[in-house]
Amino acid sequence: MSTRRRRADGGVAYLDVQGTLRERTVDALRDRTLRGNLDTAAASWGEGREGMRRDHGLDEMRERAREIRQSNIRNLPALLAEMQANVRDAGGTVVRAADGAEACRYITGLAKARGVKVVAKSKSMATEEIKLNEALDDAGIEVVETDLGEWILQLANEHPSHIIAPAVHLNREQVAALFREEAGTDDVPDDREGLVAHARVRLREKFAAAGIGVSGVNLGVASTGTICVVENEGNARLVTSQPRIHVAVMGMERVVADWDEAAHILQVLPMAAIGQDAANYVNLITGPRREGEADGPEEFHLVIIDGGRGALRGTEFEEALACIRCGACLYSCPMWRSVGGQAYGSPYSGPIGAVITPLLEGPSSPASRDLPFMSSLCGACGEACPVGIPLQDLLVRARARASSPATRKSGIAFRAWSRLWRRPATYRAWMAGWRLMLRARGRNGWVTELPGPGAGWTEVRDMPARWPPRR
């Protein structure tokens, strides 16, 4: 079981991102099953979140959450130093990695040094970001994802579609087909409970073989050197306690000062993420197993990744570091809801992905050119964010930084447009021509194919044949 797959041409495919952003979004928009799956997920999140706002004061908790995270980012160097000292006092090892490559080198080196052949992982976006699975796989070490959604994606060889629900873009039938292919038999049930039971049996076999468990970190509590791992399936509890060695991978911004702050964020996180007032499991881990304790790993390693985060402090994008990776902005975004996370071509998708991926990957990356434009700037993301990150403002700033032939062309087009529309006569003439063209091309009240620059619009949607449309 591995992330490595042989392509038909004999090459190795790692979570391949196919085509350009435009090609991926057009493909996604044409996929009706995908749209149905995303609609179902977003509607269920919306219902849960509404309940949290109505009955549990989610909106009122936002200001405090924002204050906490802003203060964390302001005091980051001191908090990290305190966290490190306390983890070491508790018997753990702390490694500060400047980038993903350094973090991967450390973890693969550790696995080799300890003779580990199998690594069990719980869900972690940081390890997706640094491509840890690929690095372990290249080192000849088997990696097993134990979160159900991540395991499904490992079988499908795909990126997560959502920060919290990685396989949200797939439905039950699609998952059943993947399980059958992996098991090499049709004897896999296709009801929800049957699929979960099947995955449980397959994954439990792997826990026993794993020498290292790798988890992410939702929060690090500086005052005690404790990491918090939030989950709903119980697999992270096994990953962090059963194997002989536990490696926790944490983005450097995920640290809070103390338990007062942690308690508030840990309350807000499931409310915003899944519309529940508590997560099923909150694992609190301080160092390795101590003498006399019945379970827990013999070794605990905390790998803290910079990966471009440190450079964002003090810039116009600093607020993005406050993110607690709840995924609420994804579900609230009309763009993400239309195409899903796969189209973004990066581990982080939706509005926060469109902001941080270019920042983490650098100004010359394709993500920097394209992703900031994956938004309608409607502001729903900023409204949904439980720590009050003004995502729409950050997206506008990211657009201003992006420079590509497409953005330069659209700049010229908008300047010409603005000049044209400043004169009432040309505006009226334009609208009259536009109405005539719509009427000439309309069938049954709708235009299905526009010429020239309008072609992109009607490629995936129809347009009313009257403008403005009749109400």
- Token pair belonging to 75: 């005091």
Let me know: does 43 contact 37? Beta carbons within 8 Å.
no
Q: Is the Cβ of residue 94 or residue 385 nearer to ligand SF4 in the bound state?
A: 385
User: What φ, ψ does residue 347 adopt, rounded to 5°?
Assistant: -60, -40
Q: Is the Cβ of residue 110 or residue 367 nearer to ligand SF4 in the bound state?
A: 367
Rounded Cα distance between 427 and 420, Å, is 7
Helix (H/G/I), strand (E/B), else coil: 278: coil
DSSP letter string over 5-67?
EE-TTS-EESS---S-HHHHHHHHHH-HHHHHHHHHHHHHHHHHHHHHHHHH-HHHHHHHHHH
Q: Using the rule CB under 6 A, is 352 a contact of ligand SF4?
A: yes
Q: Using the rule CB under 6 A, is 384 a contact of ligand SF4?
A: yes
Stretch that binds ligand SF4, among 82-90, 191-199, 309-317, 386-394 (CB under 6 A): 386-394
Q: Using the rule CB under 6 A, is 387 a contact of ligand SF4?
A: yes
Q: Using the rule CB under 6 A, is 160 a contact of ligand SF4?
A: no
Rounded Cα distance between 87 and 99, Å, is 21
Stretch that binds ligand SF4, among 70-78, 112-120, 184-192, 321-329 (CB under 6 A): 321-329
Our CA angle for 331, 336, 338, nearest 5°, is 110
Q: Using the rule CB under 6 A, is 327 a contact of ligand SF4?
A: yes
Shortest CB 65 distance to ligand SF4, Å: 9
Stretch that binds ligand SF4, among 70-78, 125-133, 327-335, 425-433 (CB under 6 A): 327-335
Shortest CB 369 distance to ligand SF4, Å: 21
Q: How far is CA 198 from each of CA 187, 194, 202, 360, rounded to the nearest angstrom?
A: 10, 6, 6, 37
Stretch that binds ligand SF4, among 126-134, 139-147, 186-194, 317-325 (CB under 6 A): 317-325
Q: Using the rule CB under 6 A, is 153 a contact of ligand SF4?
A: no
Considering only 328, 335, 371, 398, the residue that binds ligand SF4 (CB under 6 A) is 328
Rounded Cα distance between 307 and 182, Å, is 34
Let me know: does 330 contact 351? Beta carbons within 8 Å.
yes
Q: Using the rule CB under 6 A, is 148 a contact of ligand SF4?
A: no
Whether omega for the bond prior to residue 297 falls within 30 degrees of 0, making it cis, is: no
Q: Is the Cβ of residue 49 or residue 131 nearer to ligand SF4 in the bound state?
A: 49
Considering only 325, 338, 344, 398, the residue that binds ligand SF4 (CB under 6 A) is 325
Rounded Cα distance between 2 and 417, Å, is 52
Q: Using the rule CB under 6 A, is 323 a contact of ligand SF4?
A: yes
Shortest CB 270 distance to ligand SF4, Å: 12
Shortest CB 164 distance to ligand SF4, Å: 8
Residues near ligand SF4 (CB under 6 A), total: 15
Rounded Cα distance between 456 and 471, Å, is 25
Shortest CB 185 distance to ligand SF4, Å: 39
Residue type, 231: E
Stretch that binds ligand SF4, among 165-173, 180-188, 283-291, 320-328 (CB under 6 A): 320-328
- Token pair belonging to 149: 């959604």
Binding site for ligand SF4 (CB under 6 A): 163, 323-329, 352, 384-387, 389, 391
